[in-house]
């Protein structure tokens, strides 16, 4: 049995346990063993993190953009220098296979921190309008202040980066609250970045959503919330924060349709759907999981056969092995939830509507393009969709008509820094970017 290491919060530049010393177990989903302990933070820790972030704000927000960019590039180097360790921690903590964490997540996030550094200048650009010979108007962009980032368990390093990098680039100080089921990579980042960022600029408090998460959401010292997680939690957060109005961005769940037309390259569609969209990709535990596979009737049987053949070659096993193409479901609780849907699927239609968040998909035949759009849009969610077709006009029409924020044509799950990743309907609103972390104020001068 491996040694169980205890990780700490980062508050005001100090690594510290939760007030009162409470901890939670972090379980390796591949073995079921407790492999780390994390702080079970309290309302006092939340208040301390807010005080530390507020104290650091005047200095960080007053730094010239070029100086902030320099610091963020050093964060990117810290990611690059510790890439192997970070990937292994993420895989051990939440079961994402090592080929995803080592080849996609950590390198991708190194790039994202560099991108955020490059965009620091955009955060201080305003606009000016000549109103007459003696009158002009202009704007100035400012950071919101203290930004709270709330993270889900399915891809902590990526979500941490998208929230922290852009908020910091815009001159905000941040508090990150990772999910209790997969916290360790975020706490390790706290250790690694402690000497890279000025004290209090980045604070990390771990613990339960309904305890420390709720205390943070209600705190009037928080100026903006960016949350990625379930629609249900987003509604709880919205209700809890009504006494202290603050802007919020929500990146939430989905029930993405993957639509295959008879004119598609069927090899590419079968491979893409099976390995990039639903089954192997994070064992279906992705907000964009293409869990509704819509297939045009003439190719329905053939597509099912092709996908079944590919699925038979999926290699399940140790997520730390590069040979493994599908890792575990990330907790016992989640495993039971996912498998319960297999029974539900036989009896009723909920599997076509509810987010299962596991390697489970439904296949639905359709006849016409209009019918495909109608089925695809018949969902409370509106996050993403896949379209497989060789008809360029059809791909344009599908992009226009599908009520989702992100559409992939003849590919899947390519989430590119620089393109907004934003849901519709119950999939949320707002997205993480540098400008989204600023407010723009106006002034008119006459003389
Ligand atoms: P969750 O909603 O249960 O938890 C998300 C975070 O909210 C956790 O850090 C949790 O501790 C915190 N939280 C819970 N209750 C809270 C409260 N009362 N106050 C403040 N914080 C609270 O989600 P999850 O199970 O961790 O993640 C899975 C969900 O996330 C799925 O629905 C998935 O689709 C979604 N997701 C969306 C995206 C996206 O970008 N759209 C990306 C990844 C995951």
User: Which tens digits make up the pLDDT trace of 142-197?
Assistant: 999 999 999 999 999 999 999 999 999 999 999 999 999 999 999 999 999 999 99
Q: How far apart are CA 222 and CA 149, in angstroms?
A: 10
Compute CA 78 distance to the chain's CA centroid, rounded to the nearest angstrom. 21
At CA 39, angle to CA 3 and CA 106, rounded to 5? Answer: 70
Band (pLDDT 50/70/90 cuts) for residue 51 is very high
Choice among 251, 271, 355, 422 that is catalytic: 251
Domain ranges within the chain, ordered by starting residue: 5-252+428-444, 257-416
- The reply to whether 422 belongs to the active site is no
From atom 28 of ligand 1, which residue's Cα is the shortest distance away? 229
pLDDT of residue 418: 84
CATH of region 5-252+428-444: 3.40.605.10
Sign of CA dihedral 287, 289, 295, 301: negative
Q: Do domains 5-252+428-444 and 257-416 have the same CATH topology?
A: no
Smallest Cα–Cα separation from 77: which of 193, 202, 199?
Answer: 193
Question: Which residues lie below 8 Å from residue 398, measured CB to CB, with a gap of 6+?
Answer: 259, 369, 372, 373, 385, 387, 389, 407, 409
Q: How far apart are CA 349 and CA 340, in angstroms?
A: 13
Strand order through the sheet with 362-366: 362-366, 292-296, 257-260, 384-388, 406-409
Residue from 148, 229, 237 whose mutation best tests the ligand 1 pocket (most atoms within 8 A of CB) = 229
Band (pLDDT 50/70/90 cuts) for residue 281 is low
- The reply to whether 120 belongs to the active site is no
CA 213 to ligand 1: nearest atom: 20
From atom 15 of ligand 1, which residue's Cα is the shortest distance away? 209
Taking 70 as the threshold, does the pLDDT of residue 1 lie above it?
A: no
Band (pLDDT 50/70/90 cuts) for residue 308 is very high
Q: How far apart are the CA of 151 and the centre of ligand 1, in A? A: 6
Query: How do residues 309-318 score in pLDDT, each as one tens digit?
Result: 999 999 999 9
Band (pLDDT 50/70/90 cuts) for residue 282 is confident
At CA 308, angle to CA 266 and CA 288, rounded to 5? Answer: 70
From atom 6 of ligand 1, which residue's Cα is the shortest distance away? 152
pLDDT of residue 129: 97
Smallest Cα–Cα separation from 166: which of 439, 433, 415?
Answer: 433
Please say whether the beta carbons of 102 and 185 come within 8 A.
Answer: no
Cα dist from 140 to 45, 365, 440, whole Å: 34, 53, 6
Band (pLDDT 50/70/90 cuts) for residue 347 is confident
Taking 90 as the threshold, does the pLDDT of residue 214 lie above it?
A: yes
pTM confidence score: 0.96
Strand order through the sheet with 438-446: 128-132, 135-143, 438-446
Question: Which residues lie below 8 Å from residue 3, measured CB to CB, with a gap of 6+?
Answer: none
Residue from 155, 233, 254, 385 whose mutation best tests the ligand 1 pocket (most atoms within 8 A of CB) = 233
From atom 35 of ligand 1, which residue's Cα is the shortest distance away? 229
Q: How far apart are CA 435 and CA 438, in angstroms?
A: 5
Residue from 49, 166, 205, 230 whose mutation best tests the ligand 1 pocket (most atoms within 8 A of CB) = 230
Q: How far apart are CA 252 and CA 106, in angstroms?
A: 22
Taking 70 as the threshold, does the pLDDT of residue 385 lie above it?
A: yes
Choice among 90, 100, 119, 287 that is catalytic: 287
| 446 CB burial (10 A radius; 0-12, 13-18, 19+) | exposed
- So what CATH class is 257-416? alpha beta
Residues having CB within 6 Å of any atom of ligand 1: 150-154, 177, 179-180, 209-210, 213-214, 217, 228-230, 233, 236-237, 251-254, 287, 355, 357, 383, 423
Q: What is the mean pLDDT of residues 359-383?
A: 97
Backbone φ, ψ for residue 403 (5° rounding): -90, 70
From atom 37 of ligand 1, which residue's Cα is the shortest distance away? 252
CA 151 to ligand 1: nearest atom: 9
Smallest Cα–Cα separation from 93: which of 166, 177, 19, 156?
Answer: 156
Q: How far apart are the CA of 263 and the centre of ligand 1, in A? A: 38
- Report strand pairing: 5-6 vs 224-228: unpaired
Q: How far apart are CA 277 and CA 287, in angstroms?
A: 10
Taking 90 as the threshold, does the pLDDT of residue 344 lie above it?
A: no
Q: What is the mean pLDDT of residues 405-419?
A: 93
Band (pLDDT 50/70/90 cuts) for residue 439 is very high
User: Coil, strand or helix: which one is 17?
Assistant: coil
From atom 30 of ligand 1, which residue's Cα is the shortest distance away? 229
């Amino acid at each position: 049995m491996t040694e169980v290491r205890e990780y700490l919060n980062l508050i005001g530049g100090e690594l510290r346990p939760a007030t009162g010393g409470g901890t939670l177990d972090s379980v390796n989903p591949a073995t079921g063993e407790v492999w780390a302990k994390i702080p079970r933070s309290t309302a006092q820790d939340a208040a301390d993190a807010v005080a530390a972030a507020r104290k650091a704000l005047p200095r960080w927000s007053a730094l010239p953009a070029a100086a902030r960019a320099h610091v963020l590039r050093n964060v990117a180097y810290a990611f690059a220098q510790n890439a192997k360790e970070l990937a292994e921690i993420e895989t051990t903590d939440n079961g994402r296979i090592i080929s995803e964490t080592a080849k996609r997540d950590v390198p991708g996030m190194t790039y994202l921190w560099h991108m955020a550094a490059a965009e620091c200048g955009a955060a201080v650009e305003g606009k000016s309008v000549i109103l007459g010979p003696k009158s002009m108007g202009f704007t100035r962009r400012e950071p919101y202040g203290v930004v709270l980032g709330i993270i889900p368990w399915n891809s902590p390093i990526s979500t941490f980066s998208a929230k922290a990098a852009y908020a910091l680039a815009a001159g905000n100080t941040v508090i990150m609250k990772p999910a209790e089921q997969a916290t360790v990579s975020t706490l390790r980042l706290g250790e690694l970045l402690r000497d890279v960022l000025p004290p209090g600029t980045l604070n990390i408090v771990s613990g339960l959503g309904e305890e420390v998460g709720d205390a943070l959401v209600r705190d009037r010292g928080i100026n903006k919330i960016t949350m990625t997680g379930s629609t249900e939690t987003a509604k709880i957060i919205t209700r809890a924060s009504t006494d202290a109005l603050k802007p919020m961005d929500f990146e939430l769940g989905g029930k993405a349709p993957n639509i295959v037309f008879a004119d598609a390259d069927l090899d590419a569609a079968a491979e893409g759907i099976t390995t990039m969209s639903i089954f192997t990709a994070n064992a279906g535990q992705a907000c964009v999981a293409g869990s509704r596979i819509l297939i045009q009737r003439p190719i329905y049987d053939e597509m099912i056969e092709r996908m079944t053949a590919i699925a038979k070659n999926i290699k399940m096993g140790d997520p730390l092995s590069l040979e493994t193409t599908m890792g575990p479901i990330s907790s016992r609780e989640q495993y039971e939830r996912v498998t319960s849907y297999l029974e539900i699927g036989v009896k009723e239609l909920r599997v076509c509507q509810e987010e299962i968040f596991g390697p489970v998909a439904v296949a639905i035949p359709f006849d016409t393009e209009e019918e495909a759009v109608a089925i695809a849009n018949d969902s409370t969610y509106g996050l993403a969709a896949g379209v497989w077709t060789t008809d360029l006009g059809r791909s344009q029409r599908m992009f226009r008509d599908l009520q989702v924020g992100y559409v992939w044509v003849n590919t899947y799950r390519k989430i590119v820094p620089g393109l907004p990743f934003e849901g519709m309907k119950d999939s949320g609103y707002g997205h993480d970017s540098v400008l989204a972390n600023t407010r723009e104020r106006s002034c008119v001068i006459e003389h």
